[in-house]
Structure 1
């Protein structure tokens, strides 16, 4: 019985490798779940890694089973001193007695590797959410927005409708990166221009204000950095971590720090689903 248990335990490291590989394939092949953990460009490397791990795991299981089939059948008995030991057939008894019943199976591997079973099992069975308000509320995680030579925003006239004022223009879809950059533009290219922004909600310090956020990554969720805009709006604050699409106008706030979140006065907002790639800061689309 003990030999059987040891034999099954010998398969565990290879099964663990295959489990990790299967988890990688589950979140990348035919799924966008991986975008909640890493940037989009890592899909192919993750697929390749998953295939390699599954292959190594299967090869390890096959090799272990083949090795077990070639081993001589052991029997239970006693050595010359009367100690109970597992004995190999004639020609192997001396070695087995010296091993005191352990069967020469000491290949347990580092025990810390078993911690991999937790994230692998979670990825196979569940879909943990992307980073949200907890990460966005941490101090010192602001993304650096480099200044650029912004051009003036061209007005986008709304489609002509009977009775509508001719001066009405559509808001300009804009990423939070561009909005924050333009808020520091000496030419004040945002002034008076309606814009559309999309992000997730975190609570503000004062009634009637909250933050619109995006998290951007260089590689994976571990290096996420925050982009945030201070929102002033009437009505109840949307639920924390909910995604919203809002339309508003930049509100200049002279004398504030250049690291402070720029302010927008909101005229309209509505809830939207979480985007496919939550860590990619892009302008909102009509789709």
Structure 2
């Protein structure tokens, strides 16, 4: 009887050892395969990203669109574009094959004369209004399009402006970038060098700390600047500066004095695309 029990016990232990060894081998094979699969995906994405960028001989020019409010027009204010119009415009760009740029991608276009698609556009919204989050973001998300919102740092939590919590939340969206529109939206054209330096440096530092990022774009209030502003912006750590000078953006504008295309209300899909084509 004892001999029989011993044989049974040995058989059970042998089975458990065999099962455990096979399971461990199986698990190892699974995780190794999964790791290789993820590696292959990363390599493929890296290769795909590389393949989409093409270098050009002629200088690349592209539109940087300028919006403010995305909501119903108030008292004929041209800073407002109705949500319906904005959606039609974004859909027109999407259907026409336009690739929307992030700030980092715009910098690459301007410094390396490369682009990831034949048609490119950079969508920017100034001031940091709540309606950018409520009305513009859902449209951009639906169409998988990128946009940059330029924040007036000391006007956060103000009337119709996004709060710190809102900025941190929207910044989690990979399609949205948040950049600087100075501390107080003062006219840099007439600011003293010390005042301009503070407006540029403090707003960058504030956004860097709030959003845990390296803020790289300065949007000049009302698009105005003077001869010293570009150098001050560069010294503050920005890579690009955008204005309200009309026309298409290109490296020949100067990296810190880039043109933009103002979009006011009243543009249907066709007139909007004409605006894009003309760069006015």
TM-score past 0.5 threshold: no
Structure possessing the higher radius of gyration over alpha carbons: 1
**TM-score, normalised on structure 1?**
0.22
Choose between structure 1 and 2: higher helix proportion. Answer: 2
